[in-house]
Amino acid sequence: MSGFIEWLEELNGEDTRVRAILRRSLSFDAGAYPAAYPYVEPFLKNEPDYGWRRQVHYLVAGLWALHRREGSPGAPESLAKACFRYYEAQGKSPSVERRFITLLDADQDQLPYRLRQMVTLLNDYPLDFSALLKELLSWTHEKKWVQNRWAQDFYRNWQSSDEETENISTKEEVQ
């Protein structure tokens, strides 16, 4: 877990208003909700006022607060893997896949909205917010390595899931 996420978890243990404040911050542009400053700014020393790193920290703090962790069994996983598990749980719904693809195609301006939608859908799945923070910091890289990795995580699971179904079907046919 990153120091930033550990910090938020610790603060939340001391004062449950932290989550409410950070959730509320998602209604504003990154860094534009003064009540959230005490929870994010200590990790942004010497950052430009509107730099990408600053925006990502505010976004991840808000998403962390939005995500319900109680009742989410299992180890935290990447957003892409959780999306795939949600996709399977929804009967491989094409709308879930479309949302995922739309998220992968999101630019800096669309990303906060798309992520809020997805994290809300994934409330029952434990998410690794430390990994999400690290990945989002590289979201704007010209080679789109984060988006490619997420697509690989999602679709590789899809293929292995289909192979398992085929293996089960083949075993049933043999018997």
List of domains in the chain: 1-66 (1.10.520.40), 74-126+138-175 (1.10.520.40)
CA dihedral 102, 117, 135, 158 (to 10 degrees): -60
At 162 the pLDDT is: 55
Burial string for 47-86 (b: 16+ CB within 10 Å, else e) reads eeeeebebbbbbbbbbbbbbbeeeeeeeebbbbbbbbbbb
Portion of the chain with pLDDT greater than 90, in percent: 72
Would the pTM count as exceeding 0.75? yes
Instruction: Give the mean model confidence (pLDDT) for residues 71-77.
Output: 75
Measured between alpha carbons, how far is 148 from 171 in angstroms, rounded to an integer? 34
* 41 phi/psi in degrees, rounded to 5: -55, -35
